[in-house]
């Protein structure tokens, strides 16, 4: 007896090459997506955020590929169905229709679910392509959640029926599986081996999502920034450098940030000779290794972040507070919250809008002594195109020409318009954001 097809009866022609590729790619993605969806409930904090972004990205990919597969099915006539009893024929047809419902309905219900959720994060397909929300209100969220779960369990049922039917036909030596295999596989034995490989591949796709290492990424390394100040304590002058704003980030923060001249005329106009002689405040150079961080709650979970590029210009003397100043410039594009997708969101129009407002600036107007090593700097913060008063409380430990400073401030994000649209509400992301800083500085002589 020959082992070559036709085994019992031939069901040629086969599906097209494009249809075969889409079939197996969609099968792998659907199994991966099913396992990932079940796993989401076992994750928390940052890994859950990353996993949701991947789940949404894979879902959108499945939707687009499924629409392409449906269009191909409508345009290109598929192979004739297998002769079977009316009941089995109906069951086979219903299974195929149901799989299309799952492949398209699953992503659509998921899309509706995230579009109507009380807490929404912009979807970036694989961290690259922004994907819009559907224009539906929050009243659709509960129904979308139920529908999405129903579709998931429907897929499990249809998957079992589809695989069982394919294996039944293979054991009966009907050339059904062979229609979805490369033409090079022409024997029943070859199809058996290919079927086993397909089953193992499906199990591998399912396991890949379940064991995907969604651990919190290691913080990105902070560059060795040499912070600089001018001799007179004013901001570094880059007005004559036409490319300063467009220069790439470099180790020297003053080169990476084009600082504006101070608005305070006292900092730009030459002081009288007598005042210069009496002044004791001197510039300090901030050393590498300092940190400018922030903490904010997201749905009750604290998120810690920092800015990797910032420049502090300090002129200070405890005995000459009227001439002491603190100016800080922050490169908002350097935000680091230990998750690249979230950093992209923070840089977007919904939050910092770095395209229009790439930097934040704090300039002190008064420094006062609160007792012991405690000090307070009052001034203004320019952030997101808004200028508001801000108070920095800090502790300063000065030993000779070396000083260690730590401090904090509280910023009302809504006062600066940070968090627009659905992010303007304070029930998910509170209004107050805690800012902390610490650094070491050396007195310049």
Write the DSSP string, 131-172.
EPPPS--GGGHHHHHHHHHHHHHHHHHHHHHHHHHHHHHHHT
Where residue 353 falls (left for φ over 0; alpha for ψ -120 to 50; beta otherwise) is left
Q: Is the peptide bond before 354 cis (omega within 30 degrees of 0)?
A: no
Greatest alpha-carbon span in the chain: 113
Place of tokens 């994907």: 131
Where residue 430 falls (left for φ over 0; alpha for ψ -120 to 50; beta otherwise) is beta
Rounded to whole angstroms, how far apart are CA atoms 392 and 372? 16
What does each of the 445 residues of the chain score in pLDDT, given as a tens digit? 444 444 444 445 778 888 889 999 999 999 999 999 988 877 755 566 778 888 999 999 999 999 999 999 888 888 877 777 888 888 888 998 999 999 999 999 999 998 887 656 668 788 788 888 899 988 898 999 999 999 999 999 999 998 988 888 878 877 788 788 887 777 778 888 888 998 899 899 999 988 888 754 444 444 333 333 333 333 333 333 333 333 333 333 333 333 333 333 334 344 444 444 456 889 999 998 899 999 998 877 788 999 999 989 999 999 999 999 999 999 999 999 887 778 878 888 888 988 889 999 999 999 999 999 999 999 999 999 999 999 999 999 999 899 999 999 999 999 999 988 767 888 878 999 999 999 999 998 7
Q: Is 236 exposed, middle or buried (CB count within 10 Å of its CB: 0-12, 13-18, 19+)?
A: buried
Write the DSSP string, 106-124.
HHHHHHHHHHS-SS---EE
Contact 31, 210 (CB under 8 A): no
Write b or e for each residue in 321-330: b if 16 or more Cβ atoms lie within 10 A of its Cβ, otherwise e.
Answer: eebbbbbbbb
Helix ranges (DSSP H) in 260-407: 265-268, 273-278, 340-347
Compute CA distances 130 → 133, 146, 344, whole Å: 10, 26, 10
Contact 16, 87 (CB under 8 A): no
Rounded to whole angstroms, how far apart are CA atoms 119 and 177? 44
Give, for 103, the enclosing helix (H) or strand (E).
helix 86-115
Where residue 178 falls (left for φ over 0; alpha for ψ -120 to 50; beta otherwise) is alpha
pTM, two decimals, is 0.54
Write the DSSP string, 23-44.
HHHHHHHHHHHHHHHHHGGG--
What pLDDT is attached to residue 130?
83
Write b or e for each residue in 217-230: b if 16 or more Cβ atoms lie within 10 A of its Cβ, otherwise e.
Answer: eeeeebbebebbbe
Residue 413: DSSP 8-state: T
What pLDDT is attached to residue 118?
66
Q: Can you read off the two tokens belonging to residue 7?
A: 């085994």
Domain boundaries, the chain: 17-210, 253-443
What pLDDT is attached to residue 45?
53
Residue 217: DSSP 8-state: P
What pLDDT is attached to residue 422?
67
Fold for 253-443, please state it: Lipocalin (2.40.128)
Contact 233, 213 (CB under 8 A): no
Contact 33, 62 (CB under 8 A): yes
What pLDDT is attached to residue 81?
77
What pLDDT is attached to residue 227?
35
What pLDDT is attached to residue 44?
59
What pLDDT is attached to residue 1?
41
Rounded to whole angstroms, how far apart are CA atoms 318 and 222? 31
Q: CB-based contacts of 396: which residues, under 8 Å, 6+ apart?
A: 373, 375, 403, 404, 405
């Amino acid at each position: 007896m020959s082992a070559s097809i036709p085994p019992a009866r031939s069901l040629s022609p086969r599906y097209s090459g494009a249809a075969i590729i889409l079939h197996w790619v969609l099968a792998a993605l659907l199994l991966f997506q099913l396992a990932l969806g079940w796993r989401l409930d076992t994750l928390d904090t940052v890994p859950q955020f990353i996993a949701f972004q991947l789940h949404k990205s894979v879902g959108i990919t499945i939707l687009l590929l499924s629409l392409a597969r449906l269009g191909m099915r409508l345009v290109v006539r598929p192979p004739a169905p297998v002769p079977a009893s009316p009941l089995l024929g109906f069951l086979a047809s219903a299974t195929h229709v149901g799989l299309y419902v799952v492949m398209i309905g699953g992503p659509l219900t998921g899309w509706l679910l995230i579009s109507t959720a009380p807490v929404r994060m912009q979807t970036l397909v694989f961290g690259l392509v922004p994907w819009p929300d559907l224009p539906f209100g929050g009243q659709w969220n509960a129904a979308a959640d139920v529908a999405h779960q129903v579709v998931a369990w429907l897929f499990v049922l249809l998957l079992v029926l589809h695989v069982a039917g394919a294996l039944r036909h293979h054991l009966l030596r009907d050339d059904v599986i062979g229609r979805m295999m490369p033409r090079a596989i022409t024997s029943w034995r070859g199809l058996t081996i290919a079927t086993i490989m397909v089953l193992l591949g499906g199990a591998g796709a399912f396991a890949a999502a379940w064991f995907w290492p969604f651990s919190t990424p290691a913080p990105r390394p902070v560059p060795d920034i040499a912070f600089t100040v001018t001799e007179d304590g004013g901001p570094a002058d880059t007005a004559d450098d036409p490319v300063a704003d467009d220069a790439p980030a470099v180790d020297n923060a003053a080169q990476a940030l084009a600082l504006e001249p101070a608005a305070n005329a006292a900092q730009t106009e030459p002081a009288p000779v007598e005042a210069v002689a009496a002044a004791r405040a001197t510039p300090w150079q901030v050393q590498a290794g300092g940190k400018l961080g922030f903490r904010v709650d997201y749905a009750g979970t604290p998120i810690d972040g920092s800015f990797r590029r910032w420049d502090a210009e300090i002129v200070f003397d405890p005995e000459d507070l009227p001439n002491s100043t603190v100016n800080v410039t922050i490169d908002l594009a350097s935000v680091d919250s230990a998750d690249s997708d979230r950093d992209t969101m923070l840089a977007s129009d919904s939050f910092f809008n770095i395209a229009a407002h790439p930097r934040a600036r704090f300039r002190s107007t008064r420094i006062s002594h609160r007792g012991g090593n405690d000090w307070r700097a009052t001034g203004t913060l320019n952030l997101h195109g808004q200028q508001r008063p801000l108070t920095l409380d800090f502790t300063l430990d000065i030993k000779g020409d070396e000083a260690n400073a730590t401090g904090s401030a509280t910023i009302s994000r809504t006062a600066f318009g940070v968090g627009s649209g659905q992010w303007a509400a304070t029930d998910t992301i509170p209004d107050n954001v805690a800012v902390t800083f610490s650094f070491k500085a050396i007195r310049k002589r």
